[in-house]
Amino acid sequence: MADIINLLPENIANQIAAGEVIQRPASAVKELLENAVDAGATEIKLFVNDAGKALIQVIDNGKGMSETDARMSFERHATSKIKNIDDLFHIKTMGFRGEALASIAGVAQVELKTKKPGETIGTFIEIENSVVITQEPVATPEGTNIAMKNLFFNVPARRNFLKSNASELRHIVDEFIRVAMAFPNIFFSLTSNGQEIFHLERGSLKQRIIQILGSNYNANLVSVKEETDYLNIYGFVGKPETAKKTRGDQYFFVNNRFIKSAYLNHAVMNAFSDMIAKDSFPMYTLFIDLDPSRLDINVHPTKQEIKFEDEKIIYAFVQSAVKHALAQYSVTPTLDFELDSSIQHTEAVSQPFTSEKQNSIAGSSLYKTFTQKNQAHFINSKSDLEQWDTPKNVEQILTKQHGFPPIPSSEKSKPADTFSTFNRHADAVKPNKKPSAEEYVQVHKAFIIAENENGFIVIHQQNAHERILYERFVYAMKGKPIAIQRNLFPVTLEVTPADAILINELLPDLNVLGFQVEAFGKNTFVIQGSPADVTDGNEKVALEKMLEQYKHFSMDVSFSKREKLLRSMAWQQSVKAGTFLDKKEITSLVEELFACEICNTTPNGKPVFLEFKKDELDKMFGR
């Protein structure tokens, strides 16, 4: 019988590797930018056309490559960073796996120009489908100029899975920001279809943060800096009054590599726990430097998830460093009339740190452990860390302590779609009858009590309004447009480059949902009209908050773009707890709620009302 096992051809092996490394244009951007950083460049320019599908080009002024190295760089498992197995556990550079260029060459047409400093002539290489088409000398500046064209040209099935240009460009911007944020001493620029989106001059970390996240953080950053024998932590956190009701701009870097970690995020949230509302989120950009042998960065293909040797130690250090910074700088809030009222009235915002509070923080066992030399491995086991035995508990703890919405099990395994989600609770149980009371009672400006034949129900006014708005928006998408009120004076909205890309992507759906928004210059938009129930003068704030909610809405679940927009707008426009409603408004809310197709849960699965039956009440009182 003939043998059936064969070695894969080189080009097919590279295409398979590309499935791990190059999942979309942004993946290639990340790899090429990291290579430029490793080359010691002080200027890195990124050019993309057609959201990276037609062209991704990175030009740097780094150390370049010799003719032999230029050719070898496209071989599989070719890297200058690893000589033996021990090197794998002492990695300090960004790109080291030796798969990136080989993978890119397997799924794109690549042109490389490179020259080492001091040499008179450089090298030009052209590769297509892993095959070298051209290799010849070329006149080129010092450094490397690599261009990859027509991504997935030879794997059309993969190309068909790419999202819209606006969506793919947002992913590219995300990767660009993560690299640019980590290296403020390098000039970065990003040009898309001939228009420069980012122009980031070399400077300090604070300047880079303001360049990327906006000038509103200029006077609202608190420096974090702690050096210990185990690790160093430095960076900035936003003052408590800048905390948002949705996830703000949050970045963690370990040895200058961007990582995602709900575990470390929880440490920062704990540090802010007594200073901001429980359902608010602070801004932070934090860097952790530690011995590479104490972590494993190769546990995930994108290297955005890493494993620490001892996670409890890192957790304690991060929490203590942020607490110490906030106490040391005696953060004094300023009055901000656009700040959410529930944040404005928290004790931490209305009252500055007192010396007693500072002493309390400095006297905690966790802080002492952090600051005492050579005490890294003696963290008090009875501290807040004991519930963090493994990262598996992250979701439950975040849900319990910080009000993060739990992810329904049915949503963890598959993407959510607008209309399938709309009918998810087809078996939703309504009360036997709509409340029959002639009058409804509002309690604590948050709940509505309504009598029915069986007893009474308690309705949460914000959850109810979210459900009403969500279904209204779903019908709008099906062809029942939202009423629009034209602004007497158009409102100008200026946003960051990343947000401008996002708004351009959402413009068609925003118009259907009642926001008439038009592009006006590079990062500026004009709001010509808004939904009729948005208060005059509140259009800009409403759109900004909706945008923030959209960006950080249920990040752990793969919602469709439209679904995220509908949920974000329903949450943003719903009447919040703490709002007084008159009798007419209450009656309208209840009637609209029970006219909904699904009336007992919000789009996120939170209960809208609870029913109390008369016979159960009788039993409670012994009758």
Q: Give a three-class secondary structure readout of 255-270.
A: CCEEECCHHHHHHHHH
Q: Cβ distance 183 to 167 under 8 Å?
A: no
**Pair of tokens at residue 413:** 């395994």
What mean pLDDT do residues 482-489 have? 81
Place 14 in a pLDDT band, splitting at 50, 70 and 90: low
| Secondary structure (H, E, C), 110-171 | EEEEEECCCCCCEEEEEEECCEEEEEEEECCCCEEEEEEECCCCCCHHHHHCCCCHHHHHHH
Are residues 221 and 99 located together in one domain of the fold? no
Contacts of 382 (CB under 8 A, 6+ apart): none
Is 238 a domain residue? yes
Higher pLDDT, 184 or 346: 184
pLDDT digits (tens, 9 = 90+) for 554-598: 454 556 778 888 888 888 888 888 889 988 889 889 989 988 988
pLDDT at 299 over 60: no
For the beta carbon of residue 16, count every other beta carbon within 10 angstroms: 11
CB-CB neighbours of 158 under 10 Å: 17
Instruction: Look at 439 and 275; give whichever has higher pLDDT.
Output: 275
Which domain CATH number covers 185? Answer: 3.30.565.10
Is residue 297 very low, low, confident or very high in pLDDT (cuts 50, 70, 90)?
Answer: low
User: Which residue carries 């088409």 as its tokens?
Assistant: 133
144 and 90, same domain (yes or no): yes
- Name the token pair of 77: 């498992």
Q: What is the CATH number of the domain that holds 243?
A: 3.30.230.10
Q: Percent of the chain having pLDDT more than 70?
A: 72
Mean per-residue pLDDT, 353-381: 51
Query: Model confidence at 468, in pLDDT bands (50, 70, 90)?
Result: very high
**Mean of the per-residue pLDDT values of the chain:** 77
pLDDT at residue 350 in the model? 45
Question: Is 306 a residue whose pLDDT tops 70?
Answer: no
* Same domain as 232, residue 174: no
Spatial CA neighbour of 225 closest among 293, 295, 289: 289
**Domain end position, chosen among 200, 223, 240:** 200
Question: How large is the average pLDDT for residues 65-83?
Answer: 70
Verify that 40 and 155 share a domain, yes or no.
yes
Residue 105 and residue 138 share a domain? yes
- Residue 462's CATH number: 3.30.1370.100
Q: Do 127 and 227 have their domain in common?
A: no
DSSP 406: P
Q: Could you tell me if 165 and 137 lie in one domain?
A: yes
Q: For residues 36-44, give the mean pLDDT.
A: 93
**Contact call for residues 286 and 221 (beta carbons, < 8 A):** no
pLDDT at 371: 52
Residue 418 lies in a domain: no
Of 203 and 240, the structure prediction assigns the larger pLDDT to 203
pLDDT exceeds cutoff 80 at 143: yes
The total number of structural domains in the chain stands at 3
Residues 374-396 as b or e (16 or more Cβ within 10 Å = b): eebeebeeebbbeebeeeeebee
Which of residues 363 and 421 earns the better pLDDT score?
363
User: Is residue 310, in this structure, part of any structural domain at all?
Assistant: yes
Among candidate residues 200, 223, 251, the one where a domain is terminated: 200
378 and 500 share a domain?
Answer: no
Q: Are residues 66 and 183 in the same domain?
A: yes
In this prediction, residue 464 carries a pLDDT of: 93
Parallel/antiparallel/unpaired status of strands 284-290 and 250-254: parallel
Q: Is the pLDDT of residue 382 over 70?
A: no
- What is the distance between the alpha carbons of residues 305 and 252, in angstroms, rounded to a whole number? 11
In tens, the pLDDT along 395-436 reads: 444 444 444 444 444 444 344 444 444 444 434 445 545 676
176/214 same-domain check: no
| Alpha carbons 335 and 482: distance in angstroms, whole number | 35
Residue 422 lies in a domain: no
Whether residue 427 lies inside any domain: the answer is: no
Higher pLDDT, 74 or 528: 528
| Domain contains 420 | no
70 and 115 belong to one structural domain: yes
**pLDDT-above-90 percentage for the chain:** 25
What is the spatial distance between Cα 84 and Cα 41, in angstroms, rounded to a whole number? 26
The tally of CA atoms less than 13 A away on the side-chain side of residue 270 is: 22
Which residue range(s) make up the domain with 163?
10-200
Last residue of a domain, one of 200, 219, 242: 200
**Residue 616, in any domain of the structure:** no
| Domain membership flag for residue 421 | no
Q: What CA–CA distance (Å, rounded) separates 218 from 233?
A: 21
Are residues 75 and 22 both part of a single domain?
Answer: yes
Distance CA 202, CA 318 (A): 27
3-state helix, strand, coil in the chain (%, to 5): 40, 20, 40
- When pLDDT is cut at 50, 70 and 90, the band that residue 345 belongs to is very low
**Residue 362 binned pLDDT confidence (cut-offs 50, 70, 90):** low
- The more confident residue out of 623 and 222 is 222
